[in-house]
Structure 1
Amino acid sequence: MTDRTSPGYAEIAAHYRQLIEDGSLRPGDSLPPMSQVKEQFGVTITTVNRAYRLLKDEGLTLPRPGAGTVVADQPQVASTGAARLARIARTGEKYAPGETSIGHVAHLRSCHDPQVADILGVELGDEVVLRRRVFLRDGKPAVAAFSMIHMRALVDVPELLQPQPFDRFWQEIYTERTGRLTTKSPERRTARLASSDELELLGVQAPENAAVPVLVLVNVFHDDRGPLEVWEDVYAPGLWQVEGEKP
């Protein structure tokens, strides 16, 4: 009989899902034999079997003769911004396995998006800092990421106008220099039609004036003075996202 505090199958699946997302288990790597997992977590073999079946149903693993359960290739998976930040905090790794980024741009730009202006508490046409990059998954554009940052952040982090990526999340530098902690609102998900610029960044070939729907994830960051950054991730069509946030 297992201990009543033993994890359920969903928790065991979440453990290995996290290892896969962080790159500790890479495509082709074998998961431990179910008997070993049974002993490690103090559960029944039925619980382990359900956990492994869930990972398979999610497309994260597959059976392979002679190797047991192995991590599957995931060319259609891209992490969310929240998951990316959580991974950096856990592992220090900026990129998921098979991921990199290109097209880094940083400059001042007039804010013409009413929603972004409202969130940041600025007037339409006011300048904001725009930072842009494109995340590649296995060499193909997966996510166009846009950061719209309140101008007051430039006072303490002038490096925001340098296009090269930071070696850590820029808000950590902001907190060190100001003593102000930043917080993130819950990640929002929506769908809309992509702009022509977004389609170009994502390498999507579409007829002129074609309506191409895309998934958009929005993260908003604040400090004690108010909204600081709006971060939008625009996903290439055909990709699915992994949230991956854990306490």
Structure 2
Amino acid sequence: MSSKKPGYAEIASHYRKLIADGTLAPGDRMPSMSKVCEEFNVAITTANRAFRLLKAEGLTTAMPGVGTVVIDQPRTATTAAARLDRIARTGQPYAKKEVSVNHTAQLRSITDPILAGQLDLDLHDEVVLRTRTFVRDGKQTVFAVSCINVRALTDVPELLSPEPFDRFWQEIYTARTGRTVSKSPERRSARLAYDYELEALGVNVDPGTPVPVLVLINTFSDEDGPLEVWEDVYAPGLWQVDTR
């Protein structure tokens, strides 16, 4: 910890992040006030204000005889940035009670001019397209699509296998090439979902029915330019907690 004592908002942000990425799952006990004071070197009043803020935000509740616990938030889903942060911090690819299903991998011709520009490719160039659906507590939450520059296949040919990696594939790429991969700021937008996205998310509507969805986009690059565009499509009605 830094010698500068954090304020209650910073302490709340720390635990908010752990809750948002699933490190602290619904039903988990929060640390005691004394442990928070010891970890952050703050007074009990500061720790208490942080816990009151988390409770006011609907993230925790006090249970007699148990203490403060994390409560269920069925309408929240982990952002891609939070997911990557959790992997870097804990090595865990999934939050508690979360899995990914229906993995696919294939070579595809790129036909979207915006995506082609993001990957610095020409239209109809080939890309590696990998998809999977994240499921939490039995409910589909995110349909994830990775468009990867084919040059990555030279060092990570496993990208064409639909089997999930036991760690983020870019870690394997870096280990084999020595190249550092950087991520651009996460971008958020909303659009109407495609029918195949709704099918993946288990949304049952008539074909062509307009359904707005939240989309998060992350772009990764190395010294040779753009390497991957990662697009997450969230099930209708889901929202994220700001973990900054």
TM-score greater than 0.5 by the shorter chain: yes
Query: Who is 2:146 aligned against?
Result: 147
* Equivalent position SS for 1:79: coil
Query: Who is 1:89 aligned against?
Result: 88
Equivalent positions of 1:18-167 (< 5 A) are 18-21=17-20, 23-38=22-37, 40-167=39-166
Does the 8 Å contact 1:83/1:243 carry over to 2?
no
Query: Who is 2:186 aligned against?
Result: 187
Runs of 5+ in structure 2 lacking a partner?
none
TM-score by length of 1: 0.90
- Root-mean-square deviation (CA), in Å? 1.9
Query: Residue 199 and residue 23 in structure 1: after superposition, are their counterparts in 2 closer, same or farther (change >3 A)?
Result: closer
Query: Residue 24 and residue 130 in structure 1: after superposition, are their counterparts in 2 closer, same or farther (change >3 A)?
Result: closer
**Percent identical residues:** 65
How far 1:24 moved relative to its partner? 4.8
How far 1:6 moved relative to its partner? 1.9
Bigger drift between 6-15 and 134-143 goes to 6-15
* Equivalent position SS for 2:130: strand
Bigger drift between 105-114 and 10-19 goes to 10-19
Query: Who is 2:8 aligned against?
Result: 9
TM-score by length of 2: 0.91
Bigger drift between 7-16 and 144-153 goes to 7-16
Runs of 5+ in structure 1 lacking a partner?
none
* Equivalent position SS for 2:115: helix
Bigger drift between 222-231 and 71-80 goes to 71-80
How far 1:32 moved relative to its partner? 3.3
Does the 8 Å contact 1:87/1:94 carry over to 2?
yes
* Equivalent position SS for 1:94: coil
Query: Residue 71 and residue 225 in structure 1: after superposition, are their counterparts in 2 closer, same or farther (change >3 A)?
Result: same
